[in-house]
Chains A and B, each alone.
Chain A
Amino acid sequence: MNVGLVQALMSGLLMGFVYSLIALGLSLIYGVMDVVNFAHGEFLMLGMFLAYWFSVLFRMDPLLAIFVIIPILFLVGIGIYKGLIKRILGGTRISQILTTFGLSVFMANMAMFLWTPNYRLAERTLTWTTGDVSIFGVYLGVPELIASVGSIIVFAFAYYLIRFTRTGRAIQATSIDSEGARLVGINIDNIYAITFGLGIACVGAAGVLLATFYYIFPYVGTFFSMIAFATVALGGFGSVEGSFVAGVLIGIIESLGGFFISPAVKYAIVFMTYMVVIILRPATGLFGW
């Protein structure tokens, strides 16, 4: 029982860090631009597929793809901002929702068309992230460990960018008051483009980290994006620290709930926690302002 508890706790913690990274991009884009990106999960799927193809075509470890995919998805994000999101910023909320939702349907179907609906796993001969380690008598998969450590590193890097660089301060300023930011000479359009790119790059990185152990298929993003929405709402829309804590919390709640109550209801418990927080702190979540 005790080992089971530690096992559940550790597994939940590991997955939680990945959830945090996935949620970060969603939270950032909403906080700064006031746009809810319903295609967020599909960018995760894109990151996973790119890592897969990188590994298969170049016969290399999918994990290495992270150095290529972060910049690629950053540019993809900027491109999608310029071509699509920019045009709906001034529009009504419903047109924003329909646009990003449409984008998600388009991306999932495109992936199905290009890469078939089959399930894939990164080829095991190509990756050194295999096997498992034993800590405190519980077994943890090496790929999961690397994914969670990788998520923390990428998260820390993004955090540094947002909090401590000039561009990051401009992003924060825009997030707090975009009119004010414009008045002091910040190029809002550029900040939006960078923010969107950054958000997509983060979720793409999470995709690469997941691709070493999770199965890949065109609709893989759907469930992860549901978790991401709960995470962001729990942590407070727009709060970077909030996404981190909420991601870890959700990972642990999911795992412990599944262990103590019943696996069939573990996601129900996750979403119930989220609803309780919404009722107690409606607009802000745990860390929002």
Chain B
Amino acid sequence: MKKGFVLVCALSLVLALGGMAFAENVIKIGAIYPFTGPMAGTAQMLKDGVTMAVDIINNKYDFDFLFADTEGLPNLDGAKIEIIWADSAGDPKTGMSEAERLITSEGVVALIGCYQSSVTKTASQVAERYGIPFVNGDSSSPQLTERNFNWFFRTDPHDGLYAQQQFEHLIELEKQTGESLRRIAIVYENTEFGAQVAKAQEALAKEYGFQIVEKLAYTTGATSLNSEVTRLMASKPDVVMMAAYISDQILFTKTFKTMRFAPKVWHNTAAPGEPDFLKSVGDDGNYLFLRQGFCADQVVNKPVIGRILEEFRNKFGQEMLADAVRSFHAPIVLADAINRAGSTDPEAIRQALLETDIPGEYCLSPWEGIKFDPETHQNIYGQYIICQIQDQTFYTVFPSAFATRETVFPFPSWDDR
């Protein structure tokens, strides 16, 4: 295994050097992802998303998208984008040293990545120190853009925003149905991710005048969730807001069913969106709400999405999932900035990034566009959509501007479906 890896490294080095000798007109961008370790599957999806974007930039396509009708960057004599991949193994320290290596010995002009917020945090510190632009599309910790870094930009929305959208969704549901959804139970796994989400939800519940009737932390990987669900039922909530990992999400779904627990609304983070979830629970996954950064049904609103999804399917032999969409935007944003800057000078790129104004039709995600806040460098248009699972398919139901289906409300009892 290790030998194979070394071989692949050596090979890619040879290829990289070879590429350099033949095509001088390339712009190198470093991409750090957790290619080894438990997140390896996700990292592959993220990599494919980046590769798809670079492919559109470097080659001609016959649909209407940024850089689709040109080869390379027109303002730099058709210079091509080349991605130098680096493996963080999901470790913040490794991510940091890889960022350093990419900047100092590979000579990349910008960085993208790193998926895990903890790794993005350290790698972007290195970029900040060297004065190299870092565009992130795939980390969701609110804290990353609260640092007001000069060189860090984020296209994707963050977790804090999601909690807000959840409550806006509940208020809209109350208006539409006339039912009260004020009793909220928060369920979260008791490490960083779950605790952060729960914290944001609790604060906003107070602000919007909702009542928290139960706040339940649980241990991820628990062998049984019966006592958790028993307690939830005892608190009689209208709404359950859950922040779980996929494994626990599967077990919660089964336990809800066994105990016939059906709150009016069951809100979740992105876990039910992972392909293993519906494969595992089938019909029982219907009528859950979940957060998505992207949903394939958005093709109705933007037909070009359909073309890109099709290209992706042909190229990689699988569907383009939300993670690939997240990583897709960063290279596009960078290419756009470098092209407008007309140079690869870091400060020029940074200035161009600050002036980024990509319209919504060039975003795969359901955004009105990409434009960075001058202080935090968070995409001011970045938002999530809330999907509901119906007939084992994801449909956007909120915000209404992007909705493709009527919401099924309330969550049907387990006996009537």
Contact = CB atoms under 8 A, between A and B. Distances in A.
Interface of A: 1, 4, 7-8, 11-12, 15, 116-121, 124, 132, 139-141, 144, 213-215, 217, 222-224, 227, 254-259, 262-264, 266-267
Nearest to A15: B224
Contacts of A267: 219, 222
Interface stretch (B69-77, B254-262, B335-343): B254-262
SS of A interface (majority): helix
A11 B217 CA distance: 19
Contacts of A214: 223, 251
A264 B186 CA distance: 13
B258 A117 contact: no
A165 to B, nearest CB: 32
A8 B228 CA distance: 9
B258 A140 contact: yes
Given A12-B226, A119-B250, A263-B231, A141 B280 contact: no
Given A7-B226, A262-B216, A263-B225, 5 more contacts: A11-B226, A121-B279, A121-B280, A255-B227, A266-B222
Contact of A254 (B221, B227, B231): B227
A262 B226 CA distance: 12
Nearest to B259: A139
Contacts of B41: 116-118
Nearest to A122: B280
A119 B218 contact: no
A124 to B, nearest CB: 6
A276 B306 CA distance: 62
B247 A119 contact: yes
Interface of B: 38, 40-41, 190, 216-219, 221-228, 230-231, 233-234, 246-247, 250-251, 254, 257-260, 276, 279-282
Contacts, number: 100
A215 B280 contact: yes
Contact of A1 (B234, B250, B260, B279): B234
B58 to A, nearest CB: 31
Given A223-B221, A258-B231, A266-B219, A8 B282 contact: no
Nearest to B41: A117
A141 B254 contact: yes
Given A140-B258, A227-B223, A120 B230 contact: no
Contact of A119 (B217, B259, B276): B276
B46 to A, nearest CB: 16
Contacts of A117: 38, 40-41
25 contacts: A4-B233, A8-B227, A8-B230, A15-B223, A15-B226, A119-B276, A120-B279, A120-B280, A121-B280, A139-B258, A139-B259, A141-B254, A144-B258, A215-B247, A215-B250, A215-B251, A224-B223, A254-B224, A258-B228, A258-B230, A258-B231, A263-B216, A264-B190, A266-B222, A267-B219
Contacts of A213: 254
Chain A CB count within 10 A is highest, among B225, B246, B280, B282, for: B280
Contacts of B190: 264
A254 B224 CA distance: 9
Contacts of A266: 219, 222, 227
A11 B218 contact: no
Nearest to B224: A15
Given A119-B246, A121-B280, A255-B224, A141 B258 contact: yes
A258 B276 contact: no
B236 to A, nearest CB: 12
